[in-house]
Amino acid sequence: MSPRPTPPPTEVVASDVARALAEDVGAGDVTAALLPDTTDIAYLLCKEDAVVAGRPWFDACHRAVDPGVRIDWRVQDGERVSAGTVLATLAGRTRALVTAERSSLNFMQTLSGTATVTATYVDAVRGTGCTILDTRKTLPGLRLAQKYAVRCGGGQNHRIGLYDAVMLKENHVRAAGSLVVAIRAARAAQPSLPLIVEVETLAQLDDALAEGCERILIDDFDVDMRREAVRRAKAAPYHGRIPLEVSGSVDLTTLRGIAEDGVDFVSIGGLTKHVRAIDLSMKLGPAP
């Protein structure tokens, strides 16, 4: 069993939650003010099959409004649940429960959506040795949250941003004059960072293999080119030391075949870009 993914630092979650509550509550929740300020209970219900993600943000939303709220979770982030599952029960001030409801659900439904679709892609390549990666195509301001949700779904993270890995693409090659010159310049400028090199031809692949890097991205290769790329990368003298990543024009109908060709990674922008929220609700009263 895989270890549970580690969420972002507490201060990152708190910052996300502060922004969400500020845009929703503003100067005060005038609707919740109509309710009696007493104690009550509530429950969080998942209305469809899903992979759960977002507990830290859900908790932080409610505790920001009512530090004394009690939240008892019945599931863990990364756990698969079926429709009708009660995910958690809550006990706290009625007004606070209602005020925090929408923001907390927005985080849970969005992040669970990302985790659920990631799990679908991970299932599709199971047994091939291929790993599913995300991209930087995330919702603005929620990069670390969505990257966490990808891990909850069984995927792994590509670079987090523009600062933690060097990635050479066609514009860099064009500016440098050749891929070889671009690779050498990148190594000289950032020797301590991982280097990912995107190639568009088999000749560029040969150059990247010879120069060395942490990963080679074969972008929009057709089937024959992809298989030849795998053959070259795994053959002597390289022996598969530099993993290959596929990106571009990948969906669930083509994914399994790509993985079975022997590539090491497939990156999917749609994990975080094409978000379909999971149907969740929070209701006052005892759980069914």
3-state class of 70 per DSSP? Answer: strand
The answer, yes or no, to whether the previous bond of 237 is cis (omega within 30 of 0) is yes
Token readout for 114 is 């990302």
Token readout for 185 is 């310049």
Structural contact between residues 81 and 49, judged by C-beta atoms closer than 8 angstroms = yes
The H-or-E segment that residue 14 falls in is helix 10-25
3-state class of 81 per DSSP? Answer: strand
Q: What is the DSSP letter of 156?
A: B
Structural contact between residues 198 and 219, judged by C-beta atoms closer than 8 angstroms = yes
Structural contact between residues 86 and 33, judged by C-beta atoms closer than 8 angstroms = no
What residues are annotated to the active site? 102, 137, 169, 198, 219
Nearest to 114 by CA among 66, 153, 62: 153
The residue written with tokens 């993993």 in the block is 243
Distance CA 260, CA 287 (A): 45
